[in-house]
């Protein structure tokens, strides 16, 4: 099974591309953002650490973490974002790897792991990825896509990809893909990059 990290800034199309490619036989998709929410659910160590670091203002009336309130803090403060990633990513890494093993046992050939932090956070171990794909789209195009879903304010969120800061395992190949144009066009470019890597592994 080849494990592909799919990353990019908000509006780059990473979720739509992952959803499209996951329709192919033998392809599965893990959404790291959704999985991350489980790491700070009420009753978890992550919940206690998030509430302690960011205060009760990020705890909603129903006792869960208010993701919108938390987002307003971490996307305007690099140190706060780094602290959140430090809290979340050790538990998240264990969870996505567990899911990955389930997918491997089920015969999955290509596992897409989607999340911007794969390419941007110093707390993410990248040694388990065979390939990391960064979707590059210009700001105006990302903003237009986000406007269609009522999330235009997310357009300025995120940072550019960085080199891995940890040494856990070999560093995966990272490729930038032009994410302009239609969803089908972008998905085709990503799939071509995956096929090139798969072909390289078979040699």
| pLDDT band for position 64 (cuts 50, 70, 90) | very high
Residue 29: is its pLDDT beyond 80?
Answer: yes
CATH number at residue 158: 3.40.50.300
Report the domain count for the chain.
1
What domain range is 45 assigned to?
Answer: 2-202
Distance of alpha carbon 179 from alpha carbon 12, whole angstroms? 6
Written in H, E and C, the secondary structure of 35-91 is: HHHHHCCCCCHHHHHHHHHHCHHHECCCCCECHHHHHHHHCCCHHHHHHHHHHHHHH
Residue 157: is its pLDDT beyond 90?
Answer: no
| pLDDT band for position 88 (cuts 50, 70, 90) | very high
């Amino acid at each position: 099974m080849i494990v592909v990290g799919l990353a990019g800034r908000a509006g780059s199309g990473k979720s739509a591309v992952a959803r499209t490619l996951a329709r192919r036989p033998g392809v599965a998709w893990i959404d790291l953002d959704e999985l991350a929410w489980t790491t700070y659910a009420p009753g978890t160590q992550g919940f206690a650490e998030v509430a302690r670091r960011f205060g009760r203002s990020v705890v909603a009336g129903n006792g869960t973490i208010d993701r919108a309130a938390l987002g307003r803090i971490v996307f305007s403060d690099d140190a706060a974002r780094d602290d959140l990633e430090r809290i979340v990513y050790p538990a998240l890494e264990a969870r996505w790897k567990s899911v990955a093993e389930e997918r491997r046992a089920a015969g999955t050939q290509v596992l897409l792991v989607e999340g911007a932090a794969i390419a941007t956070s110093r707390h993410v171990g990248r040694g388990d990825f065979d390939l990391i794909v960064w979707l590059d789209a210009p700001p105006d195009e990302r903003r237009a896509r986000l406007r269609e879903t009522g999330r235009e304010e997310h357009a300025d969120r995120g940072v550019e990809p960085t080199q891995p800061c940890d040494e856990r395992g070999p560093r995966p190949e990272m490729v930038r893909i032009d994410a302009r144009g239609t969803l089908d066009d972008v998905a085709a470019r990503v799939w071509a990059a995956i096929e090139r890597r798969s072909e390289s592994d078979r040699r």
